[in-house]
Structure 1
Amino acid sequence: MMTKIGIISLGCPRNQVDTEVMMGLLRNDGFSVSEGVEGCDIALINTCSFIKDAKEESIEIILEAEELKKRGDLKAIVVAGCLPQRYRSELNGTLKAVDGFLGVGDVEKIPELIKKILKGKRAKIISRTPEYLYSDTSPRISLTPPHYIYVKLSEGCSNNCSYCVIPKLRGKLRSRPIDSVVREVEMAAESRKLSEINLIGQDITNYGVDRSGNPELTTLLKRLVKLKSTPWIRLLYTHPAHYEDGLIDLVANEEVICKYLDIPFQHISDTVLKRMKRKVARKDIEVLIKKVRKAIPELSIRTTFIVGFPGETDKEFEELRNFVSDMKFERMGIFTYSREEGSPAYKFPKQVSEKVKKERFDELMRLQQDISVENNNQFLGKTIEVLIDEKREKNSPFILGRTQADAPEVDGTVYVNSKKQLRSGDFVPVKITDTLEYDLVGELYEPGK
């Protein structure tokens, strides 16, 4: 009888790609795989441990799986990804009901691990220095809706920001060959109708530097644009220190590249940026923002900031607050600093209290909420292009979609009122009739009606 493996994927889209590859490998090896663990023999949990909240979510899901195993609803549990990679020495003793552990550099060994467990062995495969890099030949079972995909350009990171453990978890930057990325996109476009390709990595603006000594994102994009495989190509996870004029010009001039740039600035105070080891100063950030907004008038910038970084003073936070107020970013995420063991900042003096972190987080969120409302109100009465993501839910008048300014899962939603049953992946004109704090409400625009 075929062994059924249920998958739970936690964390970011980069982790999701690893999950999809593991699912493909297991299917090719004769296992039955599905999303969710109900009715399955083995639970495979691909974890995240980037920050405290992610670790807690991963542990919570593992403990839930352990309860299912105790009741006899699961035969075995496998924990993969960042959590076992980060705590490879401790987990054997603390998660005793878990049957197998797999590191981030060992994705291709998941069938081997499962087979060991099926023989009654407790197994652990965790490479100390991850070197794994998936390719266009890696089998994948997509967990995204059919009309969009995530394409991971690289693994690891060599930026070594002081608050971050990613280089320790996933190793140094390792970029895929351009030809491999292009072939993956070609094959995806041949197998289904794609509306959106999301290019991801820890820092895609640094893509290729490890291979050729120079950034190769612009070169890759020129190849992808020629494929005409999808109406939208979206750039996610860029770094402000690594922007080239050629990249900015390409985004400005190629219709297929979304007028959307995800640029985490993390802070604006020079002293904080220096402690963070962000490789940019306030002036560099201001110059970049001015340059991209001038070159791409319709641009939406998504950014993130960290509040409560060690040593952040009231004055430094006020500088950040004023900057956010002045810049009026179209999309913005805020994190309270998470003190992560193994990162340089873990040992920094003047750690900020949780109370102050929360106060600063709340203040910045309120400010951005007001900015978002102001930005959204500009669309009232206008007709805009919307990508349909989900069909109408039962008893709901709305179909869910996104604008070019909204990445999947992290940004806003357009609630589309339509008597027609629109299909996921369709691009439709929508007249905006109302606005919410972060979302838009509209109706399908039908000329002559």
Structure 2
Amino acid sequence: MGDKVFILSLGCAKNQVDSEKLAGMMTSQGFEIVDSLDAADIVLVNTCAFIEPAVKESIDALLGLEELKASGKAKKIGVLGCLLNRYGDDLKKEFPTVDIWAKAEEWDKVLAYLGKDKPNTSCVRGFIPETVKWSRYIKIAEGCNNRCSYCTIPEIRGPLRSRPIKEIVEEAQFLASQGAKELCLVGQDLAAYGMEIDGQSHLTELLDILDKDLPSDLWIRLLYLHPAHIDGKMLDFISSCRKVLRYLNIPIQHVDDEILSSMNRKVTEKDLRKIFSYARSIDPDFTLRTTIIIGFPGEDEGKFEKVLRFLEDMEIDRVGAFLYSPEDGTEAATLGRQVPERIKQERYDTLMELQAFLSLRRQERFLNRTLKVLVEENHNYDGYALGRSYREAPEVDGVIVIKNANNLVPGSFVNAKVVSVSEHDMEAEVIFDEG
């Protein structure tokens, strides 16, 4: 075996996919991917630079790398991904002891720095410490054409570039052969898949093939769909699929028309209500998750109240909320009528208090009902296991605590009856087949 490599993957699931692909390339070239910093000869950090807190986390990680190298615990250190995409040569000047530099998707440069050639064949996905073999992410596209006024992604990752359907299907089949029971499709905007080709979304075409070609006992979960590219036909198709879960993560960011226009979101409150209401009409148990930006320039109390009313009227299951931060190079950073931090925080607290109430109300729908649960952890000594149903996406949502664990195997499905709920989590008991 060659040098031992530790890969720290920061930021979103899309970065994790990149890190796993790099791990696969490095393994094919004789490197050993390890789970511990202490065991590594080479330490790489795949950075995030989407918003200010992510930049800070990445910079802190870089400072940690320099300390590792100075102490002799690491022979070489490398900085990869979005932070370099965003700050380029300025970043290199600040960190002169870094040995390896590579922008997002320039993974062959990592190998070149280490004296290796790029593999001749397409490498399979590897494993990093964050990898869970039964729940994997597949990135179906890179970049974005939406140009939201607050977002740095087009600058960092470039325009929309959709992967070929055949390539995605082959990767999905490979991950299933490795033991994946849940495949989470990710991209900046899944609903825009293929639109750079002919202006039409090809998401349903992709889903149709995945739904037919993948093993029967497998979940497909959709994450990050821009509402401007969702219509009734797409929702109808999703609901008709056997493997695609009735769970949608549709980041609306706001509800007020003036704010939405300023954000360049290309939708109105009426559009948003139509989408969410239609999903609810298809199936009242459809799990709907969204994201809200709080304190965008120009947001006053009246505009904020519209967001609260929308969440309540549409019975949103899950919400991720973020305080607006002006990002260098974005149009929104130049806008007037900035909202004070104190007001942002107060509004955040108000929204999350309401959402806790709404989430609990949605959770209560499932009391005494049976859900199919993907087991993820077994705590036999304490007599319980942890898992998720179709209602909980990995990492961002709650969990289901299974009280009568009985040696349940992580990565397996069980049917469990919900016996109690809280705002985010549930307790359930496995229903064992008689005899």
The TM-score normalised by the length of structure 1 is 0.91
Separation (CA, whole Å) in 2 of partners of 1:113 and 1:264: 39
> Per the alignment, in what secondary structure is the counterpart of residue 104 of structure 1?
coil
Structure 2 residue 358 is the aligned partner of structure 1 residue 377:
no
The answer for the alignment partner of 1:436 in structure 2 is: 422
Q: Which moved more, 1:165-174 or 1:255-264?
A: 255-264
Within the alignment, does 1:328 sit opposite 2:315 as a pair?
Answer: yes
Q: Is the 8 A contact 2:152 2:327 kept in 1?
A: yes
The structural deviation recorded for 1:257 is 1.0
Quick one: which amino acid aligns to residue 270 of structure 1? D
Q: CA deviation at 1:228?
A: 3.4
Partner SS for 1:391 = strand
The Cα of 1:384 is off from its aligned counterpart by: 1.7
CA offset digits 1:232-289 (Å, max 9, x no partner)? 1111110101014332112112221101111000000000000000010111101111
Per the alignment, residue 49 of structure 2 pairs with 49
Secondary structure (helix, strand or coil) at the match of 2:38 reads coil
Q: Structure 1: how far apart are the matches of 2:4 and 2:127?
A: 18
Code of the residue aligned with 2:246 in structure 1: it is: K
Q: Aligned partners of 1:66, 1:31: CA distance in 2, in Å? A: 22
| Structure 1 counterpart SS, 2:338 | coil
Kindly state the Cα deviation for residue 65 of structure 1 after the two structures are TM-superposed.
2.2
CA distance change for structure 1 residues 437 and 280 in 2, over 3 Å: closer, same or farther? same
What's the secondary structure of 1:388's corresponding residue?
Answer: strand
CA distance in 1, matches of 2:366, 2:246: 16
Match of 1:362 among 327, 333, 349: 349
1:326 Cα deviation after fit: 2.2
Name 1:213's counterpart in structure 2.
199
The Cα of 1:35 is off from its aligned counterpart by 3.4
Distance 1:212 1:108 in 2: 31
Using the TM superposition, give the Cα deviation of residue 381 of structure 1 relative to its aligned residue in structure 2, in angstroms: 2.3
- Single out whichever of 80-89 and 243-252 deviates more from structure 2: 243-252
CA displacement, residues 202-248 of structure 1 (integer Å, 9 cap, x when unaligned): 00100011123321100111111111324211111101010143321
Which of 232, 235, 248 lines up with 1:261 in the alignment? 248
Q: Describe the superposition over 1:63-102 as per-residue Cα deviations: whole angstroms up to 9, x where unpaired.
A: 2222222221112210101111111121122223322221
1:414 to 400, 405, 427: 400
> Structure 1 stretches of 5 or more lacking a match?
117-135
Task: Tell me which of 246, 249, 266 is aligned to 2:233.
Answer: 246
1:206 and 1:217 in contact (8 A); partners too: yes
1:122-150 per-residue CA deviation (whole Å, 9 max, x = no partner) reads: xxxxxxxxxxxxxx934321342221221
What residue is the counterpart of 1:228 in the other structure?
214
Identity, in percent, stands at: 40
Distance, in Å, in 2 between the alignment partners of 1:12 and 1:322 is 29
DSSP-derived class of the 1:432 partner = strand
Go from structure 1 to structure 2 and tell me whether the alpha carbon gap of 1:430 and 1:68 turns closer, same or farther (over 3 Å shift). Answer: same
* Deviation (angstroms), 1:323: 1.7
The 8 Å contact of residues 20 and 142 in structure 1, kept in 2 or not, is answered as: yes
Kindly provide the amino acid, as one letter, of the partner of residue 301 in structure 1. L
182 and 419 in structure 1: CA distance in 2 versus 1, 3 angstrom threshold: closer
Report how far residue 314 of structure 1 moved.
1.5
Is the Cα contact below 8 Å between 1:311 and 1:351 reproduced in 2? yes
Aligned-pair CA distance for 1:8? 0.5
Q: Is contact 1:5-1:34 (8 Å) kept? A: yes
SS class of match (2:146): coil
Give, in whole Å, the separation in 2 of the partners of 1:210 and 1:104.
20
Partner residue in 2 for 1:317: 304
On the 8 A contact 2:326/2:333 being kept in 1, the answer is: yes
Say which SS state the counterpart of residue 290 (structure 1) adopts. Answer: helix
Shift of 1:20: 0.6
SS of 1:89's equivalent in the other structure is: helix
| Residues 25 and 110 in structure 1, CA contact (< 8 A), matched pair in contact too | no
Q: Equivalent residue for 1:140?
A: 125
Query: Are 1:197 and 2:183 an aligned pair?
Result: yes
State the distance in 1 between where 2:165 and 2:19 align.
Answer: 22
Q: How many residues align?
A: 428
SS in 1 for 2:273: helix
Structure-2 separation of matches of 1:304 and 1:322: 15
Contact 2:373/2:389, CA 8 A, preserved across alignment = yes
Which of 131, 141, 144 does residue 154 from structure 1 map onto?
A: 141
1:10 maps to 2:10: yes
In 2, the alpha carbon distance for the partners of 1:400 and 1:50 equals: 31
Q: Tell me by how many angstroms 1:448 deviates.
A: 5.5
Tell me the distance in 2 between the aligned counterparts of 1:200 and 1:419.
31
2:76 aligns to what?
Answer: 76
Q: Aligned partners of 1:345, 1:397: CA distance in 2, in Å?
A: 51
- Conserved? CA contact 1:3–1:41, under 8 Å: yes
Conserved? CA contact 1:218–1:246, under 8 Å: no
Residue 325 of structure 1: how far off its partner (Å): 2.4
Counterpart code for 2:64: E
Q: What is the distance in 2 between the residues matched to 1:183 and 1:236? A: 20
Quick check: 1:21–1:139 contact (8 Å CA) kept in 2? Answer: yes
Q: Which runs of 5+ in 2 are unaligned?
A: none
What's the CA shift string for 1:160-192, capped at 9, x where partnerless? Answer: 000000000000000011111112112222x33
Per mean C-alpha deviation after superposition, the further-off stretch among 13-22 and 326-335 is 326-335
Whole-angstrom CA distance in 2 between matches of 1:276 and 1:168: 16
Correspondence for 1:104: 104
Distance 1:419 1:332 in 2: 30
How far apart are residue 447 of structure 1 and its match?
5.4
Residue identity in the other structure for 2:278 = K
CA RMSD of aligned residues (A): 1.8
Task: Please state how far the C-alpha of 1:419 moved relative to its aligned partner.
Answer: 4.3
Aligned mates of 1:92, 1:263 — CA distance in 2: 37
Q: How far is 1:315 from its partner? A: 1.3
- The CA deviation at 1:297 is 3.1
Alpha-carbon distance change, 161 to 419 in structure 1, aligned in 2, over 3 angstroms: closer
The 8 Å contact of residues 196 and 233 in structure 1, kept in 2 or not, is answered as yes
Greater shift in the superposed pair: 62-71 or 52-61: 62-71
**Contact 2:383–2:406 (Cα < 8 Å) also in 1:** no
Runs of 4+ that moved beyond 6 A: none
2:208, 2:241 within 8 Å by CA — same for their partners in 1? no
